[in-house]
Amino acid sequence: MDAMKFKDLDLEEVVKRVLSGTQLDRPEALAILNCPDENLDELLAATLRVREAMFGRRVKICVLRNAQSGICPEDCGYCSQSRVSRANIPVYRMQSVAELCQGARSAVESGAQRYCIVASMRGPTDREIAHLASACEQIRVRYPKLELCLSIGLLNLEQARRLKDAGADWINHNLNTSRRFYPHICSTHTWDDRVRTIENVRAADLLVCSGGIVGMGESDDDVVDLAYATRQLGAESVPVNFLHPIPGTPLGDSSFLTPERCLKAACLFRMLNPRSELRAAGGRELNVGLRQGELFNAVNSVFVNGYLTTAGWAYDRTRELIERAGFEVEPPLAP
Ligand code: SF4
């Protein structure tokens, strides 16, 4: 049987079904991801209707903090901080509680509503959990409205509960790609290990931030599977990264993305995760380039001030991008 084509989709009907909570089926999802470039404006317009119905025209700002850099024992092929990476990046152990609190202050001053503490590690020891919990407690007191997220690898239930008690709101743990493709990007842990961590996060009553990376050589089915998986896990926040190939990493020479491919992937994630906060994450500036403003038809959140080991746009430049595209940044928190 021939695959469904984008022109076979009734976009009016698709938007209605998405907004009513119906999950699009696989042929429809693949047709969206394979939308011809000449029809991309129609897809973006339909996606905007879903985005606006759920999130209006607001864009949330997030700031990352690399709390421990370049000393991870895992071997994720896209990551500059893995044990197999030869990338030239800063290497340091866990920052002090004072440094992590200072990071929260900088995030608020940069207009962020969400502060994400990220550490390169397989997973934290209980001592590291105590350290991070202490930072969370202090940040929570100083900035009660700042959304506080941690991305610190594999977590058991007790560790997740400790972070929840300390005031963390979110845990980020990306699935990254499909279960099928996962062995192609990592051999030191499995996709199922990641799902177990997300289940622990959920059981600890923390909010789940989980998305992935497009552009690693995966198939269309892998991208669609990832978008379905984030829906099935009920991830309240879904970051979509566009691979930024870093020299010295196994994927350092990869070049699979165009701005159009990135936009189609963002539309797909929005259509399959209509109620989730969808964030344009790493690789946005590099891969989407002059079409970045159109991403906001799908996403309602972005990172400013760069990523863990790659540079990105600062708040002012990003705000200008958002406003020129006809959207508005969420008001900054009080310092
Ligand atoms: S677990 Fe995280 S920090 Fe470690 S190599 Fe994988 S992506 Fe990088």
pLDDT digits (tens, 9 = 90+) for 156-210: 999 999 999 999 999 999 999 999 999 999 999 999 999 999 999 999 999 999 9
The ligand 1 atom nearest the CA atom of 72: 4
Q: What is the CATH number of the domain that holds 152?
A: 3.20.20.70
Element containing residue 185 per DSSP (H, E): helix 182-185
Asked if residue 66 has its Cβ within 6 Å of ligand 1, the reply is: no
pTM, to two decimals? 0.96
Residue 191 lies in a domain: yes
Average pLDDT on 41-68 reads 97
Residue 40 lies in a domain: no
Domain that holds residue 87: 58-329
Percentage of the chain lying above the pLDDT 70 cut: 100
Asked if residue 67 has its Cβ within 6 Å of ligand 1, the reply is: no
Report the C-alpha gap between 251 and 300 in whole angstroms. 28
Report the C-alpha gap between 195 and 84 in whole angstroms. 24
- Residues whose CB falls within 8 Å of the CB of residue 243, separated by 6 or more in sequence, listed in order: 78, 213, 214, 215, 216, 251, 254, 256, 257, 283, 287
**What b/e readout covers 104-127, taking b as 16+ CB neighbours within 10 angstroms?**
beebbebbbbbbbbbbbbebbeee
Asked if residue 280 has its Cβ within 6 Å of ligand 1, the reply is: no
In the structure, what pLDDT confidence band is assigned to residue 255 with cuts at 50, 70 and 90?
A: confident
Distance (Å) from CA 73 to ligand 1 centroid: 8
Which residue has a Cα nearest atom 2 of ligand 1?
Answer: 120
Distance (Å) from CA 80 to ligand 1 centroid: 8
Asked if residue 153 has its Cβ within 6 Å of ligand 1, the reply is: yes
Q: In the chain, how many domains are there? A: 1
The ligand 1 atom nearest the CA atom of 75: 5
* Residues with catalytic function: 72, 76, 79, 116, 149, 209, 279
Residue 217 lies in a domain: yes
Structure tokens, 112? 């962020």
State the average pLDDT for the chain: 96
Residue 35 lies in a domain: no
Residue 221, exposed/middle/buried by CB under 10 A (0-12, 13-18, 19+)? middle
Residue 25 lies in a domain: no
Report the C-alpha gap between 257 and 103 in whole angstroms. 32
Report the C-alpha gap between 21 and 275 in whole angstroms. 9
Q: Are 315 and 294 in contact (CB under 8 A)?
A: no
Owner of token pair 């800063």: 90
Closest CA to 117 of 175, 174, 189, 168: 168
What are the φ/ψ torsions at residue 294 (nearest 5 degrees)? -75, -15
Distance (Å) from CA 84 to ligand 1 centroid: 10
In the structure, what pLDDT confidence band is assigned to residue 334 with cuts at 50, 70 and 90?
A: confident
Average pLDDT on 71-92 reads 95
Which residue has a Cα nearest atom 6 of ligand 1?
Answer: 76
Owner of token pair 């976009």: 11
Which residue has a Cα nearest atom 3 of ligand 1?
Answer: 120
Asked if residue 177 has its Cβ within 6 Å of ligand 1, the reply is: no
Taking CA atoms, 82 is separated from 52, 250, 276, in Å, by 38, 10, 29
Pocket test for ligand 1, best of 65, 71, 74, 249 (most atoms within 8 A of CB): 74
Bridge-based pairing state of the strands 170-172 and 207-209: parallel
- Residues whose CB falls within 8 Å of the CB of residue 94, separated by 6 or more in sequence, listed in order: 67, 68, 119, 128, 131
Residue 182 lies in a domain: yes
Q: What is the pLDDT of residue 1?
A: 61
Q: Are 149 and 116 in contact (CB under 8 A)?
A: yes
In sequence order, what are the beta bridge partners of 147?
114
Distance (Å) from CA 122 to ligand 1 centroid: 7
Distance (Å) from CA 191 to ligand 1 centroid: 13
Average pLDDT on 138-160 reads 97
The ligand 1 atom nearest the CA atom of 118: 3
Q: What is the pLDDT of residue 2?
A: 75
Q: Are 246 and 204 in contact (CB under 8 A)?
A: no
Distance (Å) from CA 70 to ligand 1 centroid: 9
Asked if residue 120 has its Cβ within 6 Å of ligand 1, the reply is: yes
Pocket test for ligand 1, best of 81, 94, 216 (most atoms within 8 A of CB): 81
Residue 23 lies in a domain: no
Residue 52 lies in a domain: no
Structure tokens, 195? 């799902």
